[in-house]
Amino acid sequence: MSSEQDHLKDTDTEARFEFKKEERSAVKSDKGLTEEVVRLISEDKDEPDWMLERRLRALKQYQNMPMPTDWPGQPDLTELDIEEIVPYIRPDVDKREGVDDWTELPDEIKDTFDKLGIPEAEKNALSGVGAQYESEVVYQNMQEQWEEKGVVFMNMDKAVQEHPELVKEYFMTTCVPPSDNKFAALHGAVWSGGSFVYVPEDVTVEMPVQAYFRMNSEGMGQFEHTLIVAEEGSEVHYIEGCSAPKYGSHNLHSGCVEVFVGEDAHVQYSTVQNWSKNTFNLNTKRAICEENATMEWVSGSMGSKATMLYPCTILKGRGSTDTHITIAFAGEGQNIDTGAKVYHNAPDTSSTIESKSISKDGGRTNYRGLVHIADGAENSSTAVECDALMFDNESTSDTMPYMEIEESKVDVAHEATVGKIGDEDIFYLQSRGLDDDDAKKMIVAGFIEPITEELPIEYAVELNRLIELEMEGSLG
């Protein structure tokens, strides 16, 4: 491919993420977090009393909890002013329902997701597609063959209305209660949108279910909630993508993901996030695995001013398994603090954590992980591998693994490597006809291959293109 073609392709990819639309909303809350704002959100969604009561309890917990500041090396959150964030914006579409026909969307929203490739993803035979714009899911579709088998894929607001017993049972109760941390409490008070996925017993959803979350407005917060319930013997792969254009003021993304993996069930959760570099990305993600269940997390974190994200799995049942494969990229002015948490609470459980990070132009990446093996969880095993690649002497990469081992009959392994791109590697590739930039891209592509090979092809290609653009300083 010619250099001109490469440039055109890069420009096209960059344009997909850096464009912005004029804000048009049907309902927009005031800034800050007050009881009036919480009540406005609940009223606009026509929520039942029990959900409003949960929101108000979460608000009180949020108000009584301090900001996290005591972790060594954590991102600086002093520039994040919650009182300047608009927590709720409903775009001009039918509340709760959204649409199931792409052509029914308002032109400005349809154009946004057209550029992000959402219709193309659906055409590629994905099982279902949901698209969230600002605080609301504006488009949701599920292939009929899965609906006939009892699979449910809808936005969370609609699930509150149509599946109240399931939502009451699982929503921010045992998996991620609002008391977990300050941003979980914030989320519990002002959550909006997100996905609800329910897979009945022994049903395998053979193609991925996809959701895409887009922040378009300046100074807003997005608080989508994803709840996945996979019953005994079922299997599903859920993929999400996230993006936001760059603005002068800060945005906040504080989503929550809860996954319940039944006995002998298998859930894979994959995400590629490309927030703009004015966004604070502060999420809580957790799964609970029953006997012989399998949970897989695959994630790529690009963009954002600061990220604090540590997907967690509780291995509750005997023989359950957990896998984390993550990649983080930090450029100038970015602090990407990511990792994984695993709790081995039963015998014969196993976990694998593979973390890759890349930093350049003074950016900082950090792996912060926790593995806990409880007393009595005998014959459990864990393996943690953290690899960091730095482009220059100004960049920083740290590894902070923490292991709590209360059982002697276990197998524990940890390995970490940190290094710069080697001059000899660059020289070797240049001797084979590559220029300096292409040589670095090839080294990075090889470095992240364990991540990309776990993603569907369209996401793997997108992840590679995003990292190439980050290396060139083209995004944000």
DSSP-assigned letters across all residues of 32-96: S--HHHHHHHHHHTT--HHHHHHHHHHHHHHHTSPPP--STTPPP-TT--GGG-B--EEESS-TT
Instruction: Tell me which residue of 215, 380, 370, 327 sits closest to 281, measured CA to CA.
Output: 215
Instruction: Tell me which residue of 474, 428, 465 sits closest to 445, measured CA to CA.
Output: 465
Instruction: Tell me which residue of 108, 59, 129 sits closest to 87, measured CA to CA.
Output: 59
pTM: 0.82
Report pLDDT for 462.
61
What pLDDT band is residue 58 in, cutting at 50, 70 and 90?
very high
Q: Higher model confidence: residue 120 or residue 90? A: 90
Q: 49-63 vs 35-44: helix axis angle to the nearest 10?
A: 150
What pLDDT band is residue 438 in, cutting at 50, 70 and 90?
confident
Percent of the chain with pLDDT over 90: 41
Q: For residue 452, is it within any domain?
A: no
Q: For residue 61, is it within any domain?
A: yes
How far is 467 from 473, CA to CA, in rounded Å?
A: 10
- The kind and range of the H/E element at 256 are strand 256-261
Average of pLDDT values for 235-239? 91
Report pLDDT for 309.
93
Instruction: Tell me which residue of 384, 385, 313 sits closest to 349, measured CA to CA.
Output: 313
Q: For residue 296, is it within any domain?
A: yes
Instruction: Tell me which residue of 404, 464, 411 sits closest to 272, measured CA to CA.
Output: 464
What pLDDT band is residue 369 in, cutting at 50, 70 and 90?
very high
How far is 168 from 155, CA to CA, in rounded Å?
A: 15
Q: Are 373 and 382 in contact (CB under 8 A)?
A: yes
Q: For residue 9, is it within any domain?
A: no
Report pLDDT for 69.
79
Question: What is the separation of C-alpha 449 from the centre of its chain, rounded to a whole number of angstroms?
Answer: 19
Residues 6+ apart with CB under 8 A from 250: 79, 80, 81, 84, 85, 219, 278, 279, 280, 305
Q: Are 339 and 310 in contact (CB under 8 A)?
A: yes
Q: For residue 208, is it within any domain?
A: yes
Question: What backbone torsions phi and psi does residue 291 show, to the nearest 5 degrees?
Answer: -60, 130
How far is 37 from 42, CA to CA, in rounded Å?
A: 9
What pLDDT band is residue 365 in, cutting at 50, 70 and 90?
very high
Provide the residue type at 159 as one letter. Answer: A
Q: For residue 151, is it within any domain?
A: yes
Q: For residue 191, is it within any domain?
A: yes
Residues 6+ apart with CB under 8 A from 49: none
* Least confident span in 382-386, 395-399, 419-423: 419-423
If one counts the domains in the chain, the total is 1
Instruction: Tell me which residue of 296, 310, 302 sits closest to 266, measured CA to CA.
Output: 296
Q: Which domain holds residue 374?
A: 21-425
Q: 474: which 2 tokens? A: 């083209």
Question: What backbone torsions phi and psi does residue 200 show, to the nearest 5 degrees?
Answer: -65, 170
Instruction: Tell me which residue of 420, 344, 417 sits closest to 381, measured CA to CA.
Output: 344
Give yes or no for residue 220 having a pLDDT over 80.
no
SS3 sequence, 326-390? Answer: EEEEECCCCEEEECCEEEECCCCCEEEEEEEEEECCCCEEEEEEEEEECCCCCCEEEEEEEEEEE
* Least confident span in 66-70, 294-298, 460-464: 460-464
Q: 457-471 vs 436-452: helix axis angle to the nearest 10?
A: 140
Q: For residue 442, is it within any domain?
A: no
